[in-house]
Structure 1
Amino acid sequence: MVTIQKDSFGKTKDGSDVSRFTLANKNQMTVQILDYGGTISSIVVPDKHGKLDDVCLGFDDMEGYEKNPAYIGGLIGRVANRIAGGKFSLDGKEYVLPVNNEPNFLHGGFKGFDKVMWTARVENNKLILTYVSPDGEEKFPGEVTSTVVFELTDDNQLKIDYTVTTTKPTPVGLTSHSYFNLGGHGCGKIDDHFMTIKADTYLPVDENVIPTGEIRSLDGLPEDLRKMVRLGDVINDIPGGNGFNCNYNLNHTGQFQQAARAEHRGTGRYLECYTTEPAIQLYTAYAVPSMAGKGGAKYGAYCAFAWEAQHYPDSVNHKHFPNIILHPGETYRQTTSYKFGLID
């Protein structure tokens, strides 16, 4: 039986009250989510000895989240990942967005969905968050209503269901930006994680991390994760010298299927990602600065990995990429889950 409890997590700088919701199941797994940014602030799961550890990055207070330099834990929208030059054209009109990752737009702009207050309600074992993004917010057209449902199950799965509607044609692509370290959020680099991703192709990028438009086979490349590899054995071989920041084009067409699996054999934990999205971005946190996290933990480059279930980056500027334009009368839907367990 899953329970949900609510407590206070302080106030934002502008005085908004922030609530924290703790979802708990019969296996001692707990997930904590804030109504600020739809932020996953804690995921506690047992290891093979029954020891409980928090396996996602986060902060102890609102000051940490409001200064958050790496989108740690937040819901990303209205468009995840990068848009080249902060520009796109729709129905004959060019839109110019904020450039918050020079020279590009990234993860919703200066005030994306991870930096706003969501309206929260609890229905049975589900936490339901809603945010209405006004027409023109971050220079996007249309009023967009997003509803995100978090559900923790008794098989240690955190399921996230997204639905979005709009009043005008507009790009939409949401994701959750949790950072995972299955050894525990403060245990250092992720070299000893093993990983596989079910993708035959990926998107090469230019010097500004924008897709070139090519959809390239992973055959013979260090980015190829179709067979499980130890991250520490390949992370330094990725072109550019910054580890993985790679969009994998998943081998399915919208079905809810397994996309990725990670294992930490020291603790016996594994994590699987299932999604309906066409892609997943693997990011091994090279740009996370040295900083203090929860409980005095020290974070920095390569201290965690993110799996961002998403549409292709810069899709609005590549007609052969999966469409992300949502029209009035349509509903954007996505289901992604993160399932934790112990290696047999």
Structure 2
Amino acid sequence: MTRGNSLAVAASMLAMALTNSALAGEAKETNFGTLPDGRSVAAVTLTNGHGVSARIIALGASLQSVILPDRNGKPADVAIGYDTLDGYVAKPEFFGATVGRVANRVAGGRFTFDGRVYRTPVNNGPNSLHGGTKGFDKVLWDVVETKSGSTASVTLRYISPDGDMGYPGTLTTFATYALDDLDQLTIEYRATTDKPTLVNISNHAYWNLAGAGSPGGAMGHVVTIPAARYTPTDAVAIPTGDLPSVTGTVFDFREPHAVGDRVRDGRDRQIIYGRGYDHNWVVEDAVTAKPHLMAKVAEPVSGRGFELWSNQPGLQFYSGNFFDGTVVGKGGQIYRMGDAIVMEPQLFPDAPNQPNFPSARLDPGQTYRNVIIYKFTTGAKR
């Protein structure tokens, strides 16, 4: 073979390799089950060439599964939830769900907006949580687009009518999940309205990086949160409006700490109120133009971890305090206190009633946007 031919063959092989690399990601749609009213629930599985995958189901535009290899290449599902649709219908628990129209709590299910009093259904003690009794987590979204390639993605849509759960305006919301060949899972929420309204949408994924149902739970996960302040609450989880420093408290995660190190420190009344961590950290003072670091999470035994980035100012960190063994999840495992953690980039809780918090207002002609990026690490050498 001449030198010219060798170069041509090498160039051809390189082109084929680049083409195969670009097509390594796949978005594959299947049926996840049927709702009691007969509607089918689509599932879209995103995969890349590194053994990482994410399955999204149309009920609640939910992240149903995330497969990550450990440092030895052994894969495990690290997203807490159910194996089948039945669980998501019977006992939802917000597993991996898109939560809104207003995520987190609204005090008393009541707020004043443009001089008018609005009420949204109460479903968490005296408060409204994650949009009310039928928030975005409990509705069937439409799959409007799937893409395969170097970044595999799926986009879902839900149109929330004017007055839905008490909120004004027809809100058109898109949720896009994208998995790239850098092992980054991006969730982007976009929404527009035809009337002034309130919007605060987030994702409620539960993580156990040791693997769903692992006996040690998530209390050994090492967490870093680059926030100097947080929002303490009253006894029913509504922020007081204060923004104190985390210095000298169990809420200081500016240096890495295992979740379990201080989660039961009852000397801090906030821990008693939440039965652990269920609070908002002030990472920024307002929504930012570009995503910024919200948290780092590492599971030392498996080597799995992630950096969490978002354009949102607040991070709600929940340590799975209310799992009580009554939920039977993936693989027939019961979920107990501390079996998973949740990190929700969003606006601050009760923003509609807290004028000193970043506003949740959305007007016609504006686009609400929450970008959430999980930069996964597996510990594997490549």
Q: TM-score range by the shorter chain?
A: over 0.9
Distance of 1:90 and 1:27 partners within structure 2: 48
Distance of 1:123 and 1:155 partners within structure 2: 17
Does 2:371 correspond to 1:335?
A: yes
Does 2:297 correspond to 1:270?
A: no
Distance of 1:184 and 1:36 partners within structure 2: 23
Q: CA RMSD in A?
A: 1.3
> Is contact 1:257-1:275 (8 Å) kept?
yes
Does 2:350 correspond to 1:322?
A: no
Work out the percentage of aligned pairs sharing the same amino acid: 38
Distance of 1:74 and 1:317 partners within structure 2: 24
Q: Which deviations, in whole Å up to 9, do the C-alpha atoms of 1:220-276 show, x marking residues without a partner?
A: 001110000111211111533311101001047513111101111100111111000
Matches within 5 A, 1:133-212: 133-188=160-215, 189-212=217-240
Give the letter aligned to residue 249 of structure 1: V
Give the letter aligned to residue 279 of structure 1: G
Q: Which runs of 5+ in 2 are unaligned?
A: 1-23
Q: Secondary structure at the match of 2:165?
A: helix
Matches within 5 A, 1:52-91: 52-91=75-114
Distance of 1:219 and 1:98 partners within structure 2: 37
Q: Which runs of 5+ in 1 are unaligned?
A: none
Does 2:144 correspond to 1:111?
A: no
Does 2:240 correspond to 1:217?
A: no
Quote the residue 2:281 is aligned against.
248
Structure-2-length-normalised TM-score: 0.88
Q: Secondary structure at the match of 1:268?
A: coil
Aligned counterpart in structure 1 of residue 323 of structure 2, from 275, 278, 288: 288
Relative to structure 1, is the Cα distance of residues 95 and 252 closer, same or farther in structure 2, using a 3 angstrom cutoff?
Answer: closer
Displacement of 1:206 in angstroms is 0.1
Displacement of 1:294 in angstroms is 1.1
Give the letter aligned to residue 146 of structure 2: V
Displacement of 1:67 in angstroms is 2.1
The answer to which structure has the higher helix fraction is 2
List structure 1 segments (4+ residues) > 3 angstroms apart after TM superposition. Answer: 238-241
Larger gyration radius, structure 1 or structure 2 = 2
> Is contact 1:70-1:288 (8 Å) kept?
no
Give the letter aligned to residue 111 of structure 2: F
> Is contact 2:302-2:379 (8 Å) kept?
no
263-272 or 185-194, which moves further after superposition? Answer: 185-194
Give the letter aligned to residue 110 of structure 2: K
Q: Which deviations, in whole Å up to 9, do the C-alpha atoms of 1:271-323 show, x marking residues without a partner?
A: 11100000110001111231211121221211000001110000111111001
Give the letter aligned to residue 218 of structure 1: V
Distance of 1:178 and 1:211 partners within structure 2: 22
Q: Secondary structure at the match of 1:85?
A: helix
Give the letter aligned to residue 152 of structure 1: L
Give the letter aligned to residue 166 of structure 1: T
Quote the residue 1:233 is aligned against.
261
Quote the residue 1:306 is aligned against.
342
For this pair of structures, how many residues does the alignment match? 344
